[in-house]
A = this chain, B = another copy of it.
Amino acid sequence: MALKSFVEVLPDSHFPLENLPFGIFKPTQQVGEGATTEPRPGVAIGDFVLDLSVIASAGLFNGPNLNNSDCFSQTSLNKFLSMGRPAWKEARSTIQKLLSADEPTLRDNASLREKSILPMNKVEMLLPTVIGDYTDFFSSMHHAKNCGIIFRGPENPIVPHWFHLPIAYHGRASSIVISGTDIIRPRGQGRPVGNSPPYFGPSVKLDFELEMAAVVGPGNELGKPVDVNEAADHIFGLVLMNDWSARDIQAWEYVPLGPFLGKSFGTTISPWIVTLDALEPFACDAPKQEPHPLPYLTEKKSKNYDISLEVVRIKPTEQEHSSVVTKSNFNHLYWTLTQQLAHHTINGCNLRPGDLLGTGTISGPEPESMGCLLELTWNGKKPLSLNGSTRKFLEDGDEVVITGYCKGNGYKVGFGTCSGKVVPAPI
């Protein structure tokens, strides 16, 4: 049975009292005396945002961790994330109580309610954290296999070390943008035909990648690895991510140092960080790993989450409606979030609050669950039909929308959407 808030939450909402995801917003217009349009932390409830800076100023965070903290008067969540799980749990339980239907403190205080609860359509969402470093993993076996077959042929499509460690690369932090930001088609070089010079111009193989990303909590000192069984305490929560990729640029540049300009022109994340605490009811067993991982990657309990990544819609400009392109699930990942984080730090590498760890494209075993056009159209060989038009790769004007949620008993714990529209390359 769903919990009940005094704020209206529609049955299909991604943001009931069970979720309470954190983000950074600013009001699109100044409301009331003394109110500012500075960015500040908020929590989503139904179609509203609870302004945590107002709640904190009102003295309603009165637990031992948050009592005297200024973490909710910051313009990013980094400080709150650095405080760790005890502070996160305290914030969640305080907010859940405050928003409950049977709790009068906020419900019956009209002035505070008006100041602290804003309609979502009156705010603009911003990047929730200052992202020091962004890492992208490659943790779906189905994606690794399909890419291997496409790029290197059907013999041994997956490199042998893939089964021993969660492969990853450093991504570009500066070009991470919030959902709703246009993506400018990148220009770059592509593989030459015969003896011609390389292709140069707007990418002709622009793709999306259906991913999720973990947002790092306290982090670790340089030289001090995080134990895999304690790694969950370093993960605040998850967002949706679209790791836009220019396959022609990527294919020509990536040997031997990995993806660079094929990815660094833009990466979109959803604005609301859904906490691991909210996802806990949807935890499920991670897939069996064979060969057995080395001790530093062996977990007492290995967890995935049952998150339906139900729709990647592509909406061409000329069409009114968008088409469902793929349906996948977070639980298709082979390597767990905690294994990814422990591996990342085993060499002593330090993680900082707000760092982003992408999962890599989340493809499932069926053709309908492939997480990018490279796989879905088999590198452009099998165009995709979208309500009459077709796509090998993305065209200018196409809008890609990713969404995802967990299905509870009478409610959803959802991620909202992660969207972006492709606009033409500069001339």
Contact = CB atoms under 8 A, between A and B. Distances in A.
A260 B170 contact: yes
Contact of A175 (B186, B262, B350): B350
A187 B349 contact: no
Which label, helix, strand, loop or mixed, suits the secondary structure of the A interface?
loop
B260 A184 contact: no
A222 interface: yes
Contact of A258 (B165, B169, B186, B355): B169
Contacts of A252: 161
Nearest to A160: B192
A149 to B, nearest CB: 13
Contacts of A264: 170, 347, 349
B174 A350 contact: yes
Contacts of A187: 225, 346-348
A224 interface: yes
Nearest to A184: B223
Interface in A258-295: 258-262, 264-266, 291, 294-295
Interface in A301-359: 343-344, 346-352, 355
B257 A175 contact: no
Nearest to A294: B200
Interface in A171-221: 171-175, 177, 184, 186-189, 191-192, 197-198, 200
B255 A159 contact: yes
Nearest to A292: B197
Copies in the complex: 2
B253 A254 contact: no
26 contacts: A132-B132, A132-B174, A159-B256, A161-B189, A161-B191, A161-B252, A161-B255, A165-B253, A167-B253, A167-B260, A169-B260, A174-B350, A174-B352, A175-B350, A177-B222, A188-B346, A197-B294, A223-B426, A246-B347, A257-B259, A261-B343, A261-B344, A261-B347, A261-B349, A265-B348, A348-B426
Given A175-B350, A177-B222, A200-B296, A170 B167 contact: no
A340 B66 CA distance: 46
A347 B188 contact: yes
